[in-house]
Structure 1
């Protein structure tokens, strides 16, 4: 519904049109801009604002834990904090990171699939330099990673990933497991190019240098626990037995509820004249055959197909199939 203009706004609009300051085409274009909102179906927004906010809270805690871990490992004051958290596609993430880099692939059961941790080469060589006795003040190192470099950074990456367990404990009990480390991101084909991912960029302040770490969480990984990525969920009591008991009580309460049930043998159309002439013994022809399934109607909703018959001395029906209403609703 369009916004209602006040009298002052109407007078101002008419004055602008009469003076030539505003053209009718411009008003129409402005209205079209307000009515139409672009949406790219190739990159659907699967993460809601609430999910993004929850992921930000989780990994803000992860950043603090990682700061303490790195400070203890390299014996140098390190500060890690979240810079950005956005949704994009996996292809965009891969194209945004340098080559070579350190791309750590790991799992976090019960989450599905793999999660990616990208350690910027500048950060990686800075840490290696400090651990091997240097100062870590070199600004840029342009060389390939050796086997010694990979072994050193593998230990650091394992420690960073292990911090996920503590960061996620308020939401879910995860078990991080390092799978592999790649230095060429182009050969990593763990996800489809257009798969939505949450990209968390963390800045690492080490001495006078600031570098970056990227954490890529695919939507597929958290899809089955997406309902837990709500802040209110954290404050719910973790009592599964009480929840099951409440569900059972609700089911028992519903068992005693009475509903109207009817069986429709068929339909027909008669004129008022024929209706007034009906007498005892007259036969009314229906639109269904005698051996066709009948419909069971519950509270004015068609729910089942059934077969009519006799149960003892009473008439009854045997349920044959469920009428799927969802298909009609989605069409």
Structure 2
């Protein structure tokens, strides 16, 4: 937060400006220096704005899905909203969550490595209270979780994580495998402290209380699939079926279009004088022999080589080959 000046300091600053002791440009330059954002080269931003935006879109959908799931589980209205999506280090994430807490370690194939799903103690205790007969409105003390607590919340978290399949289906098909749960964040050494992670934070409103849950996706897990985390790719891939249908419709309409077709037996060059002296029954020698294939043109474009002949009482041609068949142009 910027420092607030007292009235005496403001008067002294105005006096210095009027007397010339301080130049206005110096003050503006100082303000510009304060606007400069520091960049830590030890922890570079590996997730671009497009990646963060796509992750936000995916997990905003995930928030709506798990809100319906939790509502069905606790028989009460539950609202889940995405709060933030940001890149931090794994060490910062571990230090930001309480101890004890419930950390579900799972794999989301085909992504690499382990992903962490942290449920706040307030959220866990409220869910446990409702499932065990309470109304979830009482105050909870921070305590160690029992084996019964862990087994119950593991089933709930597994159900929550399985909904990631629906949230990610527009990007890729994923499968969820829960490896286990951990209550002490400091004991979970799955990543290096400086490893960048994408932290997605959700707020959960149940009754009159609110709690938080976090999804921690390491950069190493998603590195090979970063090209898919682009909004343009997402909408393009989700629209593949409609594009395919449109192409078939266009192809069907093009099939009924009339085109001109002509077979060129050969060509010859004559002078203007020879042209003026032409008369009936004169013979012009072409540059093509009678045994050589003729060129077939479609809309004045050379397309085929053919053999001339008779088709009943009519002249006809038999297609022998394509012209420039190895060259494709999409103009």
1:40 maps to 40
SS state at 2:148 partner: helix
Q: Deviations over 1:66-97 (max 9, x none)?
A: 00000001111100000111110000000000
- 2:180, 2:84 → 1: CA distance? 26
1:66 maps to 66
2:294 maps to none
| Structure 1 residues 220 and 26: alpha-carbon distance in aligned structure 2, compared to 1, 3 A threshold | same
Does the 8 Å contact 1:82/1:201 carry over to 2? yes
- 1:221, 1:70 → 2: CA distance? 27
Residues 1:107 and 2:107 aligned together? yes
| Structure 1 residues 24 and 70: alpha-carbon distance in aligned structure 2, compared to 1, 3 A threshold | closer
- 2:70, 2:24 → 1: CA distance? 62
- 2:95, 2:150 → 1: CA distance? 22
| Structure 1 residues 234 and 147: alpha-carbon distance in aligned structure 2, compared to 1, 3 A threshold | same
Residues 1:121 and 2:121 aligned together? yes
Deviation at 1:18, TM superposition (A): 8.4
Which residues of 2 match residues 35-184 of structure 1 at below 5 A? Answer: 38-184=38-184
2:225 maps to 225
Residues 1:216 and 2:221 aligned together? no
TM-score, normalization by structure 2: 0.64
Look at both structures and tell me which one has the larger radius of gyration over its CA atoms. 2
Q: Deviations over 1:140-196 (max 9, x none)?
A: 222211111011001001001001000000011110111110011110011010000
Task: Provide the aligned C-alpha RMSD in A.
Answer: 2.3
2:275 maps to none
Does the 8 Å contact 1:201/1:215 carry over to 2? yes
TM-score, normalization by structure 1: 0.64
2:4 maps to none
Residues 1:22 and 2:42 aligned together? no
Q: Deviations over 1:119-157 (max 9, x none)?
A: 000110110010000111122222211111011001001
- 1:27, 1:73 → 2: CA distance? 58
Deviation at 1:20, TM superposition (A): 4.3
Does the 8 Å contact 1:86/1:199 carry over to 2? yes
Which residues of 2 match residues 245-324 of structure 1 at below 5 A? Answer: none
- 2:144, 2:214 → 1: CA distance? 20
Deviation at 1:42, TM superposition (A): 1.2
- 1:53, 1:139 → 2: CA distance? 36
| Structure 1 residues 29 and 208: alpha-carbon distance in aligned structure 2, compared to 1, 3 A threshold | closer
- 2:157, 2:206 → 1: CA distance? 16
2:191 maps to 191
> Number of aligned pairs?
227
- 1:70, 1:33 → 2: CA distance? 46
- 2:128, 2:37 → 1: CA distance? 49
- For structure 1, the 5+ residue unaligned runs are 1-15, 243-251, 255-331
SS state at 1:135 partner: coil
